[in-house]
Amino acid sequence: MELALRSSPVPRWLLLLLLLLPLLLGLSAGAVIDRPTEEGKEVWDYVTVRKDAYMFWWLYYATNPCKNFSELPLIMWLQGGPGGSSTGFGNFEEIGPLDSDLKPRKTTWLQAASLLFVDNPVGTGFSYGNGSGAYAKDLAMVASDMMVLLKAFFDCHKEFQTVPFYIFSESYGGKMAAGIGLELYKAIQQGTIKCNFAGVALGGSWISPIDSVLSWGPYLYSMSLLEDKGLAEVSKVAEQILNAINKELYREATVLWGKAEMIIEQNTDGVNFYNILTKNPPASTMESSLEFTQSHLVRLCQRHVRHLQGDALSRLMNGPIRKKLKIIPEDQTWGGQATNVFMNMEGDFMKPVISIVDELLEAGINVTVYNGQLDLIVDTMGQEAWVRKLRWPELPKFNQLKWKALYSDPKALETSAFVKSYKNLAFYWILKAGHMVPSDQGDMALKMMRLVTQQE
């Protein structure tokens, strides 16, 4: 570098400025920041969203053989947890171009949209923070960080400023999507971010935790996974959680939520919270001992984030993918800070955000709710319950409508889903799917995405 500085006719101060410019702009050295105009390209980078807080994103341009990417929407996918990685799980297990064996996915959403995967909040996936102050504590902080990232993204990739932009989400990602969507709408109104925001899709979303918890017992009972005594035990702890939330004791509600899950596991012989037709694998001796030695938050994080970064996926992300990306700091591992992410959000975890969905609807933003029939953690009964609590003036008309059957394969005539839609609110009931709808019912999930983005 010294030789280059001495021999160059360009002033030394200008060369130093050019070297420092990527850091000043929140870009990582070595990142791919070109602007492809052809389908099938990928770019990725870091954005510095706050001091010592760095968020990673990964963009795939649409690969439709009949259309240029500029004619198709851009979808940002947000994973749950909090602490689950979009660039890992959503990408390789659900909707990205390759599966976790790096084989082409037949139902990839790239057929109908460009995809932006973001590891959020800070500390999730390849995103990272230096020091405890770098982690988000609540939804407002999560949304604020995302506004910094989206501004940087759309300023750099102007080719996406005019295409319809949707936020699709899953689980806790839905709660974040609602908050982010509202702040994005405000930023666009204020002129600070340029993008064509077209709507949010909330999949198995943690919008109203208490409505999910209160429905667990009745749902399991109706599916023959609880009997009378078990139903009474689950209902009792659900009432305790309701009481804590009514008193705004959200940390206490989180503790009780973990207790409710343990009671359900004991009464159902270990039902899987993400698909009731499957069973949780038995805990190892080591895991059983951890139940008695670790805090409730660590146990909850293990239960709800670990499945999003299983051993095989961790090996993939920290091996071939890390090598491909080149820009991941040497001292950071994929998913290494997930527990910190989860624990720092404890006080916000059980807070409802129904009012935010109301604000989105009032602003005219398209809101789609979709849910898997076999999901327990955010079961459909709970989703229907919070939708009924909306104060949106058009809700009575939405409720009066009759749902319509959908078929992923019209020739088979097998019902794959039901849908109800009125003005800017839609609800999809996805059959034979658990919490991870695109993973369980890829064809139907792809069809739903096309319907939401007005391609069918």
User: pLDDT tens-digit profile of 32-71?
Assistant: 334 344 556 999 999 999 999 999 999 999 998 889 999 9
Q: What tokens does 155 get?
A: 């300023």
Q: Please state, as a whole number, how many other Cβ atoms lie within 10 Å of the Cβ of residue 372.
A: 32
H or E element that contains 199: strand 196-203
Does the pLDDT at position 13 exceed 60?
Answer: no
Amino acid at 200: V
Share of the chain above pLDDT 90, in %: 76
Angle 385-390-393 (CA atoms, 0-180°, nearest 5)?
140
Return the SS3 of 387: helix
Given the residues 358, 375, 379, 440, select the one marked as catalytic: 375
For the chain, the structural domain boundaries read 1-27, 31-209+305-456, 210-304
Q: Which of 115, 94, 112, 119 is nearest to 41 (CA)?
A: 115
Whether 88 and 317 have beta carbons less than 8 Å apart is answered as yes
Given the residues 28, 100, 169, 171, select the one marked as catalytic: 171
Q: Please state, as a whole number, how many other Cβ atoms lie within 10 Å of the Cβ of residue 151.
A: 18
Q: Is 156 exposed, middle or buried (0-12, 13-18, 19+ CB in 10 A)?
A: middle
Does the pLDDT at position 161 exceed 60?
Answer: yes
- 259 Cβ neighbours under 8 A, 6+ residues apart: 237
Cα gap 349→81, rounded to integer Å: 10
Angle 427-172-292 (CA atoms, 0-180°, nearest 5)?
135
Q: Give the model's pLDDT for residue 278.
A: 85
Superfamily of domain 31-209+305-456: Alpha/Beta hydrolase fold, catalytic domain (3.40.50.1820)
Catalytic residue flag (residue 171): yes
Q: What tokens does 222 get?
A: 């109706």
Return the SS3 of 426: strand
Cα gap 106→108, rounded to integer Å: 6
Q: Is the previous residue joined to 218 through a cis bond, with omega within 30 degrees of 0?
A: no
Angle 288-293-296 (CA atoms, 0-180°, nearest 5)?
90
Catalytic residue flag (residue 408): no
Amino acid at 342: F
pLDDT in tens, 379-423: 999 999 999 999 999 999 999 999 999 999 878 789 999 999 999
pLDDT in tens, 84-127: 999 999 999 999 999 999 999 999 999 999 999 999 999 999 99
pLDDT in tens, 234-270: 999 999 999 999 999 998 998 899 899 999 999 999 9
Of the two residues 442 and 14, the one the predictor is more confident about is 442
Q: Give the model's pLDDT for residue 160.
A: 97
Catalytic residue flag (residue 86): no
Q: What tokens does 440 get?
A: 């369980």
Angle 308-314-315 (CA atoms, 0-180°, nearest 5)?
150
